[in-house]
Structure 1
Amino acid sequence: MCETSVLIEKYLQGELTKAERQKLMEWVLAKEENRVFFKNRIREYDRNCSTDFDHEAAFLKFSGAITTKKSKKRIPFHIFRYAAVFAILLASAIFVKSHFLDNPQPTDNRVTKEQPIFPDKEGIVLKLDDGSTQEIDSESDGLVQDAQGNVIANKDKNQLTFDSKAETEKTRVRFNELYVPNGQRFKVKLSDGTWVWLNSGSKLRFPQHFARGSKSREVFLEGEAFFDVTKNAQKPFIVTAENINIKVLGTRFNLSAYGTDDAIATTLVEGAVNVYEIKTPKNRTRLSPSYQANFNKSTKSLGKQKVNTSLYTAWMQNKLIINDLTFPEILKKLERTHNVTFINKAPHLNAAVFQGEFHNESVESILKTIALSTPFSYKIEQNRITILK
């Protein structure tokens, strides 16, 4: 028996070492015939694997056996079921792991969803200080003008650039709002040179020009954005998200502050930031690169931890990272990224916790892959998806 066959057999028996798993993965990804051979061997081993998946997408089930383990201390009522799927999707791989509790907490079957700010508009909307609104076409170039015909920004497909001139000290600061709906992303360059990438379902309130005499540069965020802040030691850059401030001089960080989420997360990639509650500015948490500050909305507590920042910025590359998320949390993310609405009629899934990665995949492709490890069915009716038992 050749070495590859030995590795496959060891994998099927759950006996692969970390090094052997990596070697097998490299072999599977090397050639199309390797993927076909591996898929057929998996199907021979596990007759329960679905056969109606798209072969061109090359879904491969890496583990069909589900084992049940009790904790070493045999704590009553805490039995976990472990299942693993390692699926290769074109040139990318996903690992899905689920844990189940015997007594999941009952939850509402409708996923909590942010309400659209402009329900009569489907695209990206820019609301100017004068109250007028413009729907931004992310596929075309052009100039953005206010109600008086004054050019206020240049548009280059999916990004806006505001000119760098500053307001005079006597001029009132004019705030604009940029709203990016679910299923879309957008990029804006502020008048000080700061770049902001806005994720799906987000709104940024910002001055058309930063005032010349102000002591700071302030913007307001609802949703998620990545900031690449232009350094100005005399004017710190402050982002307000609900009752939290993030104060920087010049840095790069991701801020997730969706209204329906339980926490506000600030993840620092480069530089330094101070995070604090608006009412207690002296009680601030200072972050260095690769650290994340989490503000728990329920307990009003602010903590920090070291993280892999790429997990929290992957959305900028159209990647969906699932890092120990429950099934309802995954559905909430999919609602934002794919502009769909979920009805979850499978409460037994709510206690499952998953890990995995998808790159630019359809919502149906993602659901199919997750269902490999945790079987469920679903029904799609336009942009409404019902999860069934």
Structure 2
Amino acid sequence: MPKYHLLIDKYINSTISSEERKELEQWVLESDANRSFFKNRIKESSRRTSIDFDAELAYQRFSESLKLKKKVRKPLSTLLKYAALIAIVMSVGFLAKRQLLTNTLKTSIEVVENEEKTLIDNAIVIKLADGTTKVLNTESKEAVTDANGNVVANKGKNSLVFDSAKESVNKNPIYNEIFIPNGEIFKLQLSDGTLVWLNAGSKLRFPQNFDNACKKRIVYLEGEAFFDVAKNKEKPFIVNTQEVDVKVQGTQFNINSYENDDYIATTLVEGSVSVYETRTPENTMQLTPSFQANYDKFGNNFIKAKVDVDKYTGWMQNRLVIDNLKFPEILIRLERRYAVKFVNNSESLNDELYKGEFVDEDIASVLKTISMSTPFNYEINQNIITITE
């Protein structure tokens, strides 16, 4: 019997040879028990595969070929060619269907994953300390809860407030992370009362509560943010940007620290701050209002200058300030502000310097205005903008 198990499996998998098929046919014809066993094996095979394989039809085709042999004595070679053709057709159809279903399933998974990724990439997302991830609707007001259903923050329109009354006595703080996509600006109130405005394309890692046992209030920034720090002389507030730390007790300042930029700019509006290099804290600089510390990532040095702070904080009022920027730098800012992607095919523009200001204008108006000073063409296709000469 095990020998015929193997022959049946070969028949199902369309790997049976002509001689083996002839042997199997003879065995099936020997008794009703053999025919029943053969039929049941085909049914078992159909249950083991996820492909739509018609077991009854397979058996009928096999049995019909046997009936033809009884009724008509055709040359054996003709019958074998016919049987082989059926086997090949069934095999090709089976494999093609399996490949189609596999490709369809793979495509469906990729589409779903891409749609989910696109949704998250274009949304404000907060990841809580317990691993819970929430997509925040900028228009709605709702409570943000952790995995156990506990309310950790209350969301207003385009803002999120962490309750100061819920500060804990844990020895080590637990951190949340919030991600702001391109095209969005978001406001946070931390549990100590500090207000943070996050610009497009930014990420902030911050304690859910500033624990009483900790001597410092430390947050981690990638991107750009404006801080209005709640005063606490006993607990200095430190913003870490990987390469530069900003230490304050209570003040207002702006930090621009996008990963792809060549510099980190700290602009002081009110109070005083200490800005120092993370790796070498002795490389430090003190700022007073209206001064900016510009850290060169490649030169590892600070440049201090008095500036018009409105140019560096205007983004909170939807102002786009272009102050002696090269064309590629402008495109990067426009990508963040309007959530678009540029394809720049006009290299002759790269060394041009521009200066100007836009308030609440759409991307087409901005590009039209810039192109009036240095002519170029642009084509907007959804969120892809192609620049040509």
Pair 1:198-2:198 in alignment: yes
Determine if the alignment matches structure 1 residue 132 to structure 2 residue 128: no
Among all aligned residue pairs of Structure 1 and Structure 2, give the percentage whose two residues are the same amino acid.
53
Matches of 1:256 and 1:276, distance apart in 2:
15
Report matched runs for 1:70-219 at 5 Å.
120-121=119-120, 122-165=122-165, 167-219=167-219
Residue 283 of structure 1: aligned partner: 283
Aligned-residue offset at 1:119: 5.0
Measured in 1, the distance between the counterparts of 2:166 and 2:249 equals: 18
Q: Does 1:270 align with 2:270?
A: yes
Find the counterpart in structure 2 of residue 64 from structure 1: none
**1:237 corresponds to 2:237:** yes
1-structure distance, mates of 2:143, 2:170: 27
2:309 counterpart letter in structure 1: T
For 2:334, the aligned partner's letter is: L
Aligned residues: 273
Indicate the SS of the match to 1:370.
Answer: helix
Structure 1 spans left out of the alignment, 5+ residues: 1-116
Q: How far is the alpha carbon of 1:279 from its aligned partner? A: 1.8
Q: 1:170 to 1:139 in 2, by over 3 A?
A: closer
Secondary structure, in 3 states, of the residue corresponding to 1:212? coil
What is aligned with 1:370?
A: 370
Aligned to 1:331, the other structure's residue is in SS state helix
**1:321 — aligned with what?**
321
Asked if 1:256 corresponds to 2:253, the answer is: no
Change (3 A) 1:170 1:194: closer
Partner of 2:40: none
**How far is the alpha carbon of 1:165 from its aligned partner?**
3.1
Equivalent position SS for 1:310: helix
Aligned to 2:246: 246
Structure 2, gaps ≥5 residues long: 1-115
Relative to structure 1, is the Cα distance of residues 185 and 118 closer, same or farther in structure 2, using a 3 angstrom cutoff?
farther
Aligned to 1:90: none
CA RMSD of aligned residues (A): 1.3
For 1:364 and 1:258, the matched residues in 2 are separated by 25
The answer as to whether partners of 2:123 and 2:135 remain within 8 angstroms in 1 is yes
2:269·2:290 contact (CA, 8 Å) conserved in 1?
A: yes
Give the CA deviation at 1:347.
0.4
Query: Which structure features the higher share of helix residues?
Result: 2
- 8 A contact 2:168–2:209 mirrored in 1: no
Task: Look up the match of 1:331.
Answer: 331
* CA deviation string 1:26-56 (max 9, x = no partner): xxxxxxxxxxxxxxxxxxxxxxxxxxxxxxx
The offset of 1:120, in angstroms, is 4.7
The one-letter amino acid paired with 1:288 is T
Distance 2:293 2:133 in 1: 35
Matches of 1:170 and 1:255, distance apart in 2? 29
Shift of 1:157: 1.0
1:283 CA displacement: 2.4
Measure, in 2, the Cα distance between the counterparts of 1:160 and 1:168.
Answer: 19
Task: Output the CA distance in 1 between the equivalents of 2:258 and 2:340.
Answer: 17
Q: Matched residue of 2:155: which SS?
A: strand
- Superposition deviation, residue 187 in structure 1: 0.1
Q: Secondary structure, in 3 states, of the residue corresponding to 2:342?
A: strand
**Given the alignment of the two structures, is residue 308 of structure 1 paired with residue 308 of structure 2, yes or no?**
yes
Of Structure 1 and Structure 2, the greater strand share is in 1
CA distance, structure 1, for counterparts of residue 168 and residue 229 of structure 2: 22
State the structure with bigger RCO (CA 8 A, min sep 6), 1 or 2: 1
Contact 1:166 1:212 in 2 (8 A): no
Q: Equivalences for 1:372-387 in 2 at 5 Å?
A: 372-387=372-387
Q: Decide which moves more: 277-286 or 198-207.
A: 277-286
Tell me which amino acid in the other structure corresponds to 1:204: L
Cα contact 1:166–1:211 (8 A) shared by 2 = no
